[in-house]
Homo-oligomer: A and B are copies of this chain.
Amino acid sequence: MKWDTLDEEPCSLSRTVAVVGDRWTLLILRECFLRVRRFEGFQSSLQITRHLLSERLKKLVRFGILRRVPYSEAPKRYEYILTQKGLDLYPIIMAMVHWGDTHMGDERGRPLLHEHKNCGKLFDPVMVCSECGEPLHAKQVHVHAGPGRKEAVG
């Protein structure tokens, strides 16, 4: 597989996988959503090798998920802030957390609880249809080839 052009495949899943489809990247993003911003912060909480962390942060910046922002001029120091494109990954992360809560739990109970500030309650994320608002299930969805697929296939 040519992983270097995966982000140009005529498949939105492939394109997303090209960006966030590896273990370290997903764990780094978890830390981002937990408000970690600095190299040493990621490194110490994840125990990732510095080499790979450096590599992954560069990639996330290159794809516009993180912005490298200086927070000190001398010495030059940067922190990594989620862009809007990065913040929009939240449903993916939350969907993964929720699946883990549901299917990979143990007797100790949930590791984290999530409170929705708007309503003040502890919640679970639910995926619904943008048109009718009903919860979505795989078997209720029919897939059609869109223009981007038809053009690519010929």
**Interfacial residues, chain A to chain B (CB-CB below 8 A):** 1, 3, 6-8, 10-23, 26-27, 30, 33-34, 46-48, 64, 82, 85, 87-106, 108-119, 121-134, 136-149, 151-152
Oligomer: number of copies: 2
Q: Which residue of B lies closest to A140 (CB)?
A: B117
Q: Are B104 and A19 in contact (CB under 8 A)?
A: yes
Q: Are A109 and B11 in contact (CB under 8 A)?
A: no
Q: Which of B21, B109, B118 contacts A140 (CB 8 A)?
A: B118
Q: Which residue of B lies closest to A49 (CB)?
A: B1
Q: Are B115 and A121 in contact (CB under 8 A)?
A: no
Q: Are B95 and A116 in contact (CB under 8 A)?
A: no
Q: Are B142 and A114 in contact (CB under 8 A)?
A: yes
